[in-house]
Amino acid sequence: MTREELLSALSSLRRAQTGGRRAPHKPLLVLWLLGRFAELGSTAVSYDEAEEPVSRLINDFGPAVTSPSRARERAAMPFVHLERRVWELRDRDGHVIGPDAPERGSALRARGAHGRLRPDVEKLLAEPGTLSAAVRLLLEQHFTPTLEGPICDAVGLDLAPGLDDRAHTSAERKRRRRRAGFAEEVLHAYAYACAFCGFDGALGRNPVGLEAAHVRWHSLDGPDEVDNGLALCSLHHALFDIGVLGLLPDLRIQVSELYVARGPAGRAVDGLHGQPVAVPRPGRPTVDPQFVLWHGRQVFKRPGTQAA
């Protein structure tokens, strides 16, 4: 396998969905394995070791799940179904476990299931730039920029500028590029103020702490258009992208019932619940309802949703 073939294989990971909802289980498992490789030089791991940290990643960065038993075992699905082009899975006797095995943590533990990225994949990851290129590809294809830092922190990766040689492989060339001008158009539409709290800080003539948020993520086919954007302060952008904040169809803000805060600053977020989103300037479109529905289904942490 060449580096380009590896990145192509990672780019082709099936975007699993359950009940029409995104299920980023496989990329999160791979990202966790890449963090393990960066620390230990190996991705070999038993299911028993991987279950808790990988399930926690899926719970934190995927759609919400309310069943405690399913929440604890969400790592089972990607552990069984990760593409064998990059992954090998065996039982305690060394026998291959096929992709038709039960997606249950108890069954995998009983068989002593253990896996690793294939030896030729690990060999490539040891080459300069390959690991960081793989991480960036997975983050860009399955998540949104606000979550890249928290995910890297959670899996123990540090992608400082300059670590990635950004070779232009065919997998990288296939990525959707962001449209120049999108951010400025969104900020201008909302008069350079957060659509949730009204923050309008500036340093001289330049806004600070304000960002153009995609309602439907760019990485998941969200267009770079004003009707898919909101001007948000950095805090509310992060909370919107991780699912603490959401939108109702009438463009009122909702705060997840799963959100908790101990101090007055954190509890101030609760005060946003039910408040209307700011109206854009005349002639600029409000958020398209289809993108509001997408965010509510795919991102917002809502009690009562089914396990992905």
d(CA 71, CA 65): 6
Rounded to whole angstroms, how far apart are CA atoms 228 and 186? 9
Under 8 Å between Cβ of 3 and 288: no
Angle of helix 47-61 relative to helix 145-155, nearest 10 degrees, comes to 160
Report residue 276: phi and psi, to 5°: -75, 145
In the prediction, which pLDDT does 166 show? Answer: 45
Q: How far apart are CA 49 and CA 117, in angstroms?
A: 15
Higher-confidence position of 67 and 139:
139
- The stretch 50-56 carries a mean pLDDT of 94
Q: What is the pLDDT of residue 67?
A: 63
296, 302 Cβ separation under 8 angstroms: yes
Asked if residues 227 and 286 have their Cβ atoms less than 8 Å apart, the reply is yes
How many Å separate Cα 84 from the centre of its chain? 23
What is the per-residue pLDDT for 135? Answer: 95
pTM over 0.85: no
For the chain, the average pLDDT equals 89
**Residue 25 is inside which H or E element, if any?**
helix 25-40
Per-residue pLDDT at 238 exceeds 70: yes
- pLDDT of 159 strictly over 90: no
Q: What is the pLDDT of residue 174?
A: 52
Rg (CA), the chain: 21
pLDDT of residue 176: 61
Q: What percentage of residues in the chain have a pLDDT greater than 90? A: 77
Q: Please measure the distance between the N-terminal and C-terminal CA atoms of the chain and give it in whole angstroms.
A: 32
